[in-house]
Structure 1
Amino acid sequence: MTVLSSSPGSANATARCTRTPGRARPGQRATRSGVLLIVLAVTLSAFGVGCSDRSETTTESDSAEPLGIGKEVTMPIAAVTTTVLDPGAEPRSALRPTLPPGTTQQVTLRTDHHIEQQIDTQAVRDFSPPAVTIPLTAEAGTDGVELTLGTVTSPDPALAKALLPADGSRAGLDMSELGAITALRLAPKAATSDAARAALEQAFYQAVYQSIAFPDDAVGEGAVWTVRQQVSGSVPLEQVTTATLTHREGSLLTIHLDVTQTPKSTVWHLPNEAGQLEIIDYLMRGTGVITVDLGMPLPVSGSVEVGGNQAYRDPHSAVTLRQTLRTQVQWGA
């Protein structure tokens, strides 16, 4: 499993957090635990980090170049299970994306990820990465959607400059017949920096896990169904999205989403065998409304926001880390 950087520099921070051989004295242990909590804190959010088996397909001849440059990186996405709670009003029909190969769409994806953390009684610190806006040209293929990135922007001047070489980069979404995303593919241009790559990975990963899959059964307006999925990450989560079809006009659907995340473990195992943290509190919920056209590859418009509070404790030092998180994904013109 490989942790995708949640913000520029976090991958380097994670790499520094290795276990020190031998038994640490109490003062050393407390110091080590505090350092671990500080440098790893920004990797705890499920929507800030992607953790998945990544396969790389070489698109250029191998040479002594950094990992990922000149290669397409594929991240499998966990399967979903849909359950209809209410089929809704008549008339009912199956919701299926109808995407003839070659169908194109222009849409803009914007993501904003906010992280605040506090260690014990220390001052609250803001670790939020800059927001990112990605103009996309989507084209339907035989098994999914191919994406071409336009000029990616950010309100942070340094990141905005770093993102300029990504113009024209490629990405892709493998999808099931019910609209569930089964894999995310990213192929940034070779000149794209690590910071820009990390920002793009984070943005697409957030968008993937705030997407929606349709039920297998026929439904009508007012229908309610759940989408259950495991969100891969340092802390594996069970995510349940409750979708309500509030309006349908032909192929145009308005869907209200209610998202809940629950950890599947009581501990978080730190990278590089650096120990573990106890999960003492975890509350993540969100809502949103999206508009989907069954004849278009991506959502037409809408916004989904997921947020909440988390608390972790180092069992060796009793140091406690508290976080307030908020992630917003927006689709629009």
Structure 2
Amino acid sequence: MAAACASEPETIADEAEDIPSEFTVPVPGLEISLVEPGAEPRQTLAPSLSVGDSHSTVVTVRSELFQQLGDDPESDFGLPPVTLPLDTEVEAADGGEWSVALTLGRPESPDNVVNSALAAAEGSSAGMTIRADGSVSELRISPNAESSDIARSAVEQALFQAVYGMIAFPQEPVGEGAQWTIDQPIESQMEIVQRTTVTVREMSGTTLLLDLAVEQRPRLPYLDVPGEGRVAVDEFTGEGTGSLRVDLERPLPTEGGFEMYGTQQYSDPDTGYVVRQRTSMATEWDSP
């Protein structure tokens, strides 16, 4: 029951030997709804990537999970912060989509065990396909063969968290003050929808400063746990705020970030057994 309640993306595999040299993970589609077009002048926002362009970006992610089973003391199942230097190159453009290659620099973590394991992940490859609206349709990961399971898992979770923080744009022209919502399912062991409300604070050429408000909610009031049956979702909150600076000529945000906090409670209707959780996530971007 406890293992199925976490709201973070599932790992691809638990053992390093089960992971192929390269694998592709589809990212669920999303819905974009314009709320307010903003002031004149307005323009249609969309990525404007050029094949062959390369950039450097650094993303730092943090994910915390504190869990209490019944009357037991609360336990910490969170992941230590991980900083990933990423070199990007736009490899191809096809039908309004772009294929972007990612090469990892030396990942780092304040956790000594994780940081030591991450050394072997340097030089690992990844990639993503970006749609015409800025959303990511798939994530490709090619970990170094020397990477341990700890390193693979840390890098994978960091890349997933980064992808779910990308911004998609409406089809309609917008100006400063414009606002739209992005509804996206989160791939996890329960059906969660993440709504991001985006507000344009500033527009200057291809550069945008965007304010974000994020909310997560479950689709259903229950959760089916394999081998355990159905448990009730008694409480589920998840919300956060932040801001991002985006350059339409670059595939990844250049600055900013956001934080999310949440509480969850699940119970077994037959036994009354309760699981409580406190969660938080943070993603930060920077360009050297």
Which TM-score bucket, shorter chain as reference? Answer: over 0.9
Alignment counterpart, residue 169 of structure 1, candidates 110, 124, 132: 124
Of the candidates 12, 16, 30, which is equivalent to residue 80 of structure 1?
A: 30
Residue equivalent to 1:102: 52
Number of equivalences: 280
Give 1:293's match in structure 2, choosing from 220, 232, 247: 247
Among 153, 156, 162, the alignment partner of 1:201 is 156
Confirm whether residue 224 of structure 1 aligns to residue 185 of structure 2: no
How big is the shift at 1:51? 6.9
Mapped to 2, the partners of 1:316 and 1:194 lie a distance apart of 37
Which consecutive segments of 4 or more residues in structure 1 shift more than 3 A? none
* Contact preservation (8 Å) 2:108, 2:118: yes
Aligned residue in 1 for 2:141 = 186
Q: Is the 8 A contact 1:51 1:234 kept in 2?
A: no
What is the rounded CA distance, in whole Å, between the counterparts of 2:91 and 2:135 in structure 1?
A: 15
Whose radius of gyration is greater, 1 or 2? 1
Instruction: Supply the distance in 2 between the matched residues of 1:222 and 1:122 (Cα, whole angstroms).
Output: 48
**CA displacement 1:158-189 (0-9 Å, x = unmatched):** 11111111110001111101110111111101
**Does 2:18 align with 1:50?**
no
Work out which of the residue numbers 296, 307, 323 in structure 1 matches 2:277. 323
Preserved contact between residue 104 and residue 297 of structure 1 (Cα < 8 Å): no
Are the counterparts in 2 of residues 89 and 219 from structure 1 also a CA contact under 8 Å?
A: yes
How large is the RMSD of aligned CA atoms in angstroms?
A: 1.6
- Identical amino acids, percent of aligned pairs: 35
Larger relative strand fraction: 2
In structure 2, C-alpha distance between the alignment counterparts of 1:135 and 1:276, rounded to whole Å: 41
Superposition TM-score, scaled by structure 1 size: 0.81
Aligned counterpart, 1:247:
202
Q: Give the deviation of 1:123 after TM superposition.
A: 1.9
Provide, for residues 96-141 of structure 1, a one-character-per-residue CA deviation record: whole Å limited to 9, x for no partner: 1111011111110100011111223332222211110100001112
Deviation at 1:191, TM superposition (A): 0.8
Q: Is the 8 A contact 2:9 2:186 kept in 1?
A: no
- Aligned equivalent of 1:282: 236
Aligned mates of 1:134, 1:319 — CA distance in 2: 39
Q: Secondary structure at the match of 1:163?
A: helix
Q: Secondary structure at the match of 1:196?
A: helix
**Aligned residue number for residue 80 of structure 2:** 130
Instruction: Pick the structure with more helix per residue.
Output: 1
Q: Is the 1:149–1:169 Cα contact (8 Å) retained in structure 2?
A: yes
Shift, 1:280, TM fit: 0.7
For the pair 1:260 / 2:215, whether they are aligned, the reply is yes
